[in-house]
Chain A
């Protein structure tokens, strides 16, 4: 009984939904602020100290906006997709080891489950675009799928090379195998680079924000969404950012592991997890500030000509070393 109650608290409060929600809004703020500073701008400033509450303010503002469903849209899918998008992202965060070596949910081979659901998120993007039956949204959805063909394989391979070097497909074991040395410091460094680039594509950020491409197709697959649905997509996106940064930290930077004071493991583990995932976030944000947007055909060329061979080489190196 007590155990079940404890599990529920873990899921809802810490390190579950409430904590994840706060953290993902914080990460959006860090991303926006750091991006702005890189561009010599000030960034969010007014809501809260240094604008730290700006993502929350944006979210609340969107909730209060009018929610429009276009006449030609598939109403069921149009309403369902934002909810699914948010829910799957939130579900996946439960796998992240935040305050210990295991997440809230953990089972043997959960890495496969995790990656499979990540792919479903990209497919939801396609559904969202197609359900709104807007021309720009249709093009955006097509681009999302094309892009998926490009980045999915190197993304998986970079995770595979980590899995090979820790000889396990369970997140818990991967974390524990890094207690002596982090994967990024070993032969998996190449895999980390590929992971960072493909995570950028997964998150649809410059140079791979092709499905959204504000300047070309207005907002791509998001164009018809407004109000609460858009708010859910935005929050889902933030959670996804946290998810991929956390995954990067878990797979390559040793997750929550580090020197701890006995008795205060939870605090230290959480702190290490946050610091490490913020480091990954800053890497991703820097990448976002460095490039122009690629065209979708160029993105595919980049992916199939360079990223996939590189990730195969990375897997090979790891296979030989371990």
Chain B
């Protein structure tokens, strides 16, 4: 006998709203439907109502954890439109903050993954050590999570030799702890049985379904925007693209843990080779880029992030488009969550499989209407949306 169980929109492991409707038979999952559109916030429209400087703050709030990647992507776009090159020191400083926030994101995810398989102790340990990197971000940027560091023309603050010393000290601690966590993950038998051969995504499927970021790299495909299309100082700072080829949740954990170690080395290298000079070029408060369009890509902690901007010469963007990594990973998740052949998904595996893409749904919501019978899809305009909501309101009154 099969029946449906809903995971979400409210569920203990997903603080963000999303609905996964599972068709289950006993403990086995047969089919899944994913609905991510519970948090459409109208951000892209929001950009069109703000001037370019204010847009930075909005870009920062697309996603709390990868805010550094979003502002980086945004400011790169605007700088490309303006045709400005930022000073080399700013490039390195941006890289440092980007990599630190990647460490933060991966540690946060590792803790959550441990929580999702019921390993509370590892969860607590990881989140305790995450505080170190948050302290670092606070020292450098003034804020713990939402860093507000990147700005058009460079960064907001410089780092002093004292801060540099502090970073190095904390990095040593973090490196030691990360190696310890890696050891725990690789040796603890209950973690191994819960993660190995769970959530399989074959390399071919990963490419077909446009997986990005650590999910793609855990399927054995060497793809990283930092290496393939270097931005800021990534062409000067050496690093290895981490890949594992077991294609399961275990590989995704190891990819992220190894990436933390890579990030630590990258930050160390950039501190050693930090160029002197200005850390920003002054910009007027209101910038008016010439008409044109620009695309910028950044490797956010969760995968490839893409921003597109079109300017009509005024002080506000004409169109702004954001493609976040979680949205790109949703189709592969649906594949991972469906049993096929001798690959069986159990109810108990749902949280960790879905969690293994490091979902961030607040940046994922999209509104689109699809009529399956007529195979037609369309998008509503602002006025249609207002008319619809007014009608709904009347009906419920």
Interface check B78, CB cutoff 8 A: no
Q: Which residues of A contact B346 (CB under 8 A)?
A: 295-297
Give chain B's interface secondary structure class. Answer: helix
A216 engages B128 (CB within 8 Å): no
B116 at interface, CB cutoff 8 A: yes
**In the bound complex, do residue B13 and residue A215 qualify as a contact, i.e. CB atoms below 8 Å apart?**
yes
B348, A295: Cβ atoms under 8 Å? yes
Do B190 and A38 have beta carbons less than 8 Å apart?
A: no
Determine whether the beta carbon of B124 is less than 8 Å from that of A292: no
A213-B190 contact in complex given A139-B5, A292-B117, C-beta closer than 8 Å: no
A218 contact set on B, CB distance < 8 A? 11-12
Contact A215/B116 with A38-B121, A40-B128, A41-B124 known, Cβ cut-off 8 Å: yes
Q: Indicate whether B229 reaches chain A with its CB closer than 8 angstroms.
A: no
In this assembly, does B119 line the interface, its C-beta being within 8 Å of a C-beta of chain A?
A: yes
Interface code A185-216, partner B: CB below 8 Å = 1, 0 otherwise? 00000000000000000000011011001111
Out of A136, A142, A290, A293, name the residue touching B194 (CB < 8 Å). A293
Given contacts A40-B128, A135-B3, A298-B193, contact A291 B351 (CB under 8 A): no
- The reply to whether the CB of B100 lies closer than 8 angstroms to some CB of chain A is no
Interchain CB contact under 8 A, A213 and B125: no
Select which of A136, A209, A294, A296 is within 8 A of B27 by beta carbon. Answer: A296
CB-defined interface of B190-211 with A at 8 Å, one 1/0 digit per residue?
1101100000000000000000
* B191 interface neighbour in A135, A206, A216, A292, Cβ under 8 Å: A292
State whether the Cβ of B99 lies closer than 8 Å to any Cβ in chain A: no
Interface status of B43 (Cβ within 8 A of chain A): no
Q: Kindly list chain B residues whose C-beta atoms are within 8 Å of the C-beta of A206.
A: 118-120
* Smallest beta-carbon distance A190→chain B, Å: 20
Residues of B within 8 A of A213 (CB): 118, 348
Docked Cα-Cα span, A135 to B114, in Å, equals: 25
In the bound assembly, the distance between CA atoms of A215 and B114 in angstroms comes to 11
Distance (whole angstroms) from the CB of B185 to the closest CB of chain A: 10
Q: Roughly how many angstroms separate A119 CA and B59 CA in the complex, as a whole number?
A: 57
CA–CA, A139 to B1, complex, Å? 13
Task: Tell me which of A216, A289, A297 contacts B351 (CB under 8 A).
Answer: A216
Interface status of A118 (Cβ within 8 A of chain B): no
B190 CB contacts on chain A under 8 angstroms:
207, 291-294
Q: List A contacts of B114 (CB < 8 A).
A: 292
Whether A142 and B121, one on each chain, are in contact in the complex, defined by CB atoms closer than 8 angstroms, is: no
Report if A217 contacts B (CB, 8 A).
yes
Q: Is residue B26 within 8 Å, beta carbon to beta carbon, of the partner chain? A: yes
Query: Which of these, B26, B120, B194, contacts A295 with CB under 8 Å?
Result: B194
Residue among A41, A207, A297 making CB contact with B118, cutoff 8 Å: A207
Q: Which of B3, B11, B121, B347 contacts A290 (CB 8 A)?
A: B121
* A206 to B12 Cα, complex, angstroms: 17
B56: min CB distance to chain A, Å = 36
Q: Are B348 and A292 in contact (CB under 8 A)?
A: no
Question: How many contacts between A and B, using CB within 8 angstroms?
Answer: 81
B350 at the interface (CB under 8 A from A): yes
Contact between chains at B118 and A209 (CB < 8 Å): yes
Residue A39 is within 8 A (CB to CB) of chain B in the complex: yes
B351 adjacent to A215 (CB under 8 Å) = yes
Residue in B12, B119, B188, B347 whose CB lies within 8 Å of A139: B347
Contacts of B122 in A (CB 8 A): 292
Q: Which residue of A lies closest to B189 (CB)?
A: A291
- Taking a contact as CB atoms closer than 8 A, the residue among A139, A289, A296 that contacts B121 in the complex is A289
Query: Which residues from chain B contact A291 at a C-beta distance below 8 Å?
Result: 119, 188, 190
B211 to chain A, nearest CB (A): 24
Residues of the B chain whose Cβ atoms lie less than 8 Å from the Cβ of A215: 12-13, 115-118, 351
Q: Is the CB of A214 within 8 A of B348?
A: no
B266 to chain A, nearest CB (A): 29
Q: Which residues of B contact A142 (CB under 8 A)?
A: 26-27
Q: With a CB–CB cut-off of 8 A, which chain A residues contact B350?
A: 216
Residues of A near B6 (CB, < 8 A) are 135
Most-contacted residue by chain A among B3, B190, B351 (CB, 10 A): B190
* B349: interface (CB < 8 Å): yes
Return the CB mask of B58-85 against A: 1 if under 8 Å, else 0: 0000000000000000000000000000
Check A293–B119 contact: CB distance below 8 A: yes
CA distance A42 to B5 in the complex (A): 36
B5 and A136 contacting across the interface, CB-CB below 8 Å: yes
Nearest B residue to A212, CB-CB? B118
Interchain CB contact under 8 A, A214 and B12: yes
By beta carbon, the residue of chain A nearest B5 is A135
Q: Are A293 and B117 in contact (CB under 8 A)?
A: yes
User: For B193, what are the chain A residues with a Cβ–Cβ distance below 8 Å?
Assistant: 294-295, 298
A139 surroundings in chain B (CB, below 8 A): 5, 24, 27, 347
Which of A39, A215, A296 has its CB near the most chain B CB atoms (within 10 A)? Answer: A215
Q: Are A292 and B194 interface neighbours, CB within 8 A?
A: yes
Contact with B along A279-322 (1 / 0, CB 8 A): 00000000001111111111000000000000000000000000
A119 to B128, CA, bound (A): 40
Residue ID in chain B nearest A295 by CB atoms: B348
Please determine whether A294 and B121 come into contact, CB atoms closer than 8 angstroms: no
Q: Measured between alpha carbons, how far is A295 from B196 in the docked complex, in Å?
A: 13
A39 B351 Cβ-Cβ under 8 A? no
**For window 119-151 of chain B, which residues contact chain A by CB distance below 8 Å?**
119-122, 124-125, 128
Q: Which B residues are CB-close (under 8 A) to A214?
A: 12
CB distance from B337 to the nearest CB of A (A): 13
Alpha-carbon separation in the docked complex, A296 to B26 (Å)? 12
Expressed in whole angstroms, the Cα–Cα distance for A218 and B119 within the complex equals: 16
**In A202-253, which residues have CB < 8 Å from any B CB?**
206-207, 209-210, 213-218
- CB of A39 within 8 A of CB of B121, answer yes
Q: Which 4 A-B pairs have the closest CB atoms?
A: A293-B118, A292-B119, A39-B124, A292-B190
Q: Contacts A295-B348, A297-B346 known; list 17 others, CB within 8 Å.
A: A39-B120, A139-B5, A142-B27, A206-B118, A206-B119, A213-B348, A216-B350, A217-B347, A291-B119, A291-B188, A292-B118, A292-B191, A293-B117, A294-B194, A295-B194, A295-B349, A296-B27
CB-defined A-B contacts under 8 Å, sample of 11: A142-B27, A215-B13, A215-B115, A216-B348, A218-B11, A291-B190, A292-B117, A292-B188, A293-B118, A295-B193, A295-B348
